[in-house]
Structure 1
């Protein structure tokens, strides 16, 4: 294999490539925090049950109104505001995937993160102007965040040596689960102490700082980095020499459509986002309706899966690269192993919730495991496109993410419909539907997934459509 000719490996955590992974990790935490925080601040923004103040407390009342302004938005308007960011993300996927690699990621990611952060700072002001303006801000913010989340995959085409793809990508992707965990922990305290607008200001300022850091620290090609050691440059460039070139070729759309390994990735991305969206959206509802806990306990219990998912994602990356570097398993065996864990474990644990949960603690444990084990997919099908088509990685990730988002929208809608029509067996129907989709998509993946570069994605003879 090409790995046999590589120069001596450069230590990981004292390198620029791992520094880049950490920087992207915090960027992902920030954009997720900016995306999710409105879900929690909305409670304070429309709260109509504030205690009445006496005449002597008029100064306190005025101060509280300034700190926590309240708006009379209907439930329909609230739903539009909360979902508008997803609309923006859907719009961004294909254009960003097509442009990835053709334009510098330094400018695209840095400017998009900065734009999203500025919009976060403007949301309290937009709320004062009316719901329509805040919806516009959220759609634009979704476009910017979708650009960051999709465009960053192209970074690893030139920065991730094959033996380190698992840990580098899992380190960055884990930021997407750490962001909601942080929001669930701190947003309530910020709202109480400083007012809900400060939530947007804090995460907006954090994003601005990170975007400026990105412009200073990141270079599209490791060969151009002025502060990286020549040893690390040689290691990265040599490891990717047979996979990546500077030239760009037309997208082989017809070959992609005929490629079963591509469809295996797309279908499992659909299953992953279906399960992830449902579990994230309806775990608090399940805890509330089945376990009958108060709001504060619900928030704490709902945050536990994010913490464990973060740990699972990091561990999966380390294990996958360990198996590959020690030649214990082949690339495709590793991808299938972690895809199986990330797809099948949530099914097993949701079945345990239905049939093996006999008390409060067992239910919480199984729910937490069902949510968190999805992160094993970080080292499975979520990076498999980098193995089979590094030249078109950004585009394939965008297509998979777009189809996956439709899966997320469908799953939340169907779950809500089932819950409204069948209160007795609703959770059984929802969990079995998720299990059927996951098992079907996993079976297709195990049959047709590949771990080597496909013919249509190679340097030569790949321009025919």
Structure 2
């Protein structure tokens, strides 16, 4: 998806488009309640058949309608194509160069993207995967009720993502905030903001209504990730955005099985408010630390290694600086020698 974003979407409209990635939240919002009803009435097998059929229909539509770049699309207008191409400028190369693995893996913004997404996803997965169990064991909800509860926050997550992406793109278009600061603002909202709501959930006790409110807000506010770390990946390197996203997703995927392990370790045969409080506190720490680190260290500017020319220019600049420093050093040495000679001559006289 990030390759498509880099090839199709003007820089100041990326936040809004990347929000479409969170369409999965709409799918979850619809699927959870339906699955709860289907399992309760017909059994779990039907859920897999219906989900598989829906995915197949989606794939057919994608295959027929999606093109890699504006030049290949047969139905867009000439003006639209020119607008997209001109807005992207030279940031997207026509011919891909070898992947600069070393530069990518050591870049601080890439590393901070990993940190931010690990933290955000830890909080999100804690709620998405284990939220139904929390409400079942602590608040006594059945599968149909937890299905309805699990769907609503994800629908709101998509809604908040769209609203915040509009704000982010407006700040960029109007020049009221720089691109790096927009990404930091969004990351602070989706990580640190989620952390505060997670704390509220931790101290909800047996009050189910308070727990519902805090869980819903904690999931919903994570939607700002589409304007933050997700969009930042395309900002720093349109040419290798897909590679970077693949690296990040590979690492972040580990959170998907680590969070249930932690929850299981803390709550197995010990389903108490205190133990679940520990679960939510761990998630809160991940969210706070990752958000603070990203906002402090990350910088979402286009990287020199995004293109071979950029690397070459950077190398040339480095060589020029080295030559300049060497020349200045040589001049200083010559000056020192002349001053020493003059001093010796004066002494001899």
Q: What SS does structure 2 have at the residue aligned with 1:156?
A: helix
Q: Deviations over 1:280-316 (max 9, x none)?
A: 1111111122222333222222222112112112212
Task: Tell me how far apart the structure 1 counterparts of residues 179 and 111 of structure 2 sit (CA, whole Å).
Answer: 18
1:268 aligns with 2:116: yes
1:184 aligns with 2:32: yes
Per the alignment, do residues 411 and 303 of structure 1 end up closer, same or farther by CA in structure 2, a change over 3 Å counting? same
Question: Partner residue of 1:420?
Answer: 268
TM-score, structure 1 length as denominator? 0.63
Q: Please show how residues 34-433 of structure 1 align to structure 2 within 5 Å.
A: 152-170=1-19, 172-190=20-38, 197-355=45-203, 359-420=207-268, 423-424=271-272, 425-433=274-282
For the 8 Å contact 2:115–2:290, the answer to whether it is kept is yes
Of 295, 299, 308, which residue of structure 2 is paired with 1:450? 299
TM-score, structure 2 length as denominator? 0.83
Task: Tell me how far apart the structure 1 counterparts of residues 295 and 44 of structure 2 sit (CA, whole Å).
Answer: 47
Deviation at 1:188, TM superposition (A): 4.2
Question: Partner residue of 2:284?
Answer: 435
Per the alignment, do residues 406 and 448 of structure 1 end up closer, same or farther by CA in structure 2, a change over 3 Å counting? same
Structure number with larger C-alpha Rg: 2
Task: Tell me how far apart the structure 1 counterparts of residues 134 and 279 of structure 2 sit (CA, whole Å).
Answer: 12
Divergent runs of 4+, >6 A: 192-195
Task: Tell me how far apart the structure 2 counterparts of residues 457 and 416 of structure 1 sit (CA, whole Å).
Answer: 42
Task: Tell me how far apart the structure 2 counterparts of residues 241 and 359 of structure 1 sit (CA, whole Å).
Answer: 54
Deviation at 1:256, TM superposition (A): 1.9
Task: Tell me how far apart the structure 1 counterparts of residues 98 and 204 of structure 2 sit (CA, whole Å).
Answer: 53
For the 8 Å contact 2:2–2:245, the answer to whether it is kept is yes
For the 8 Å contact 2:31–2:151, the answer to whether it is kept is no
Question: Partner residue of 2:332?
Answer: none
For the 8 Å contact 1:167–1:318, the answer to whether it is kept is yes
Task: Tell me how far apart the structure 1 counterparts of residues 261 and 37 of structure 2 sit (CA, whole Å).
Answer: 31
Number of residue pairs matched by the alignment: 313
Task: Tell me how far apart the structure 2 counterparts of residues 414 and 358 of structure 1 sit (CA, whole Å).
Answer: 22
Per the alignment, do residues 353 and 457 of structure 1 end up closer, same or farther by CA in structure 2, a change over 3 Å counting? same
For the 8 Å contact 1:174–1:314, the answer to whether it is kept is no
Higher relative contact order (CA 8 A, sep 6+): 2
Task: Tell me how far apart the structure 1 counterparts of residues 36 and 285 of structure 2 sit (CA, whole Å).
Answer: 37
Between 430-439 and 289-298, the greater mean CA deviation after superposition? 289-298
Deviation at 1:400, TM superposition (A): 0.6
For the 8 Å contact 2:116–2:291, the answer to whether it is kept is yes
For the 8 Å contact 1:271–1:407, the answer to whether it is kept is no
Per the alignment, do residues 364 and 377 of structure 1 end up closer, same or farther by CA in structure 2, a change over 3 Å counting? same
For the 8 Å contact 1:252–1:462, the answer to whether it is kept is no
Q: What SS does structure 1 have at the residue aligned with 2:256?
A: helix
Between 251-260 and 191-200, the greater mean CA deviation after superposition? 191-200
Deviation at 1:428, TM superposition (A): 2.3
Per the alignment, do residues 461 and 369 of structure 1 end up closer, same or farther by CA in structure 2, a change over 3 Å counting? closer
Q: What SS does structure 2 have at the residue aligned with 1:174?
A: helix
For the 8 Å contact 2:120–2:290, the answer to whether it is kept is no
Q: What SS does structure 2 have at the residue aligned with 1:223?
A: coil
For the 8 Å contact 1:344–1:439, the answer to whether it is kept is yes
Task: Tell me how far apart the structure 2 counterparts of residues 358 and 416 of structure 1 sit (CA, whole Å).
Answer: 20
**Which residues of structure 2 form unaligned runs of 5+?**
316-349
**Which residues of structure 1 form unaligned runs of 5+?**
1-151
Question: Partner residue of 1:77?
Answer: none
Question: Partner residue of 1:125?
Answer: none
Task: Tell me how far apart the structure 2 counterparts of residues 394 and 231 of structure 1 sit (CA, whole Å).
Answer: 27
Deviation at 1:210, TM superposition (A): 2.6
Deviation at 1:459, TM superposition (A): 4.1
Q: Deviations over 1:155-211 (max 9, x none)?
A: 1110111111011110x2121111122111223444567765554443333333332
For the 8 Å contact 2:29–2:154, the answer to whether it is kept is yes
Q: What SS does structure 2 have at the residue aligned with 1:383?
A: helix
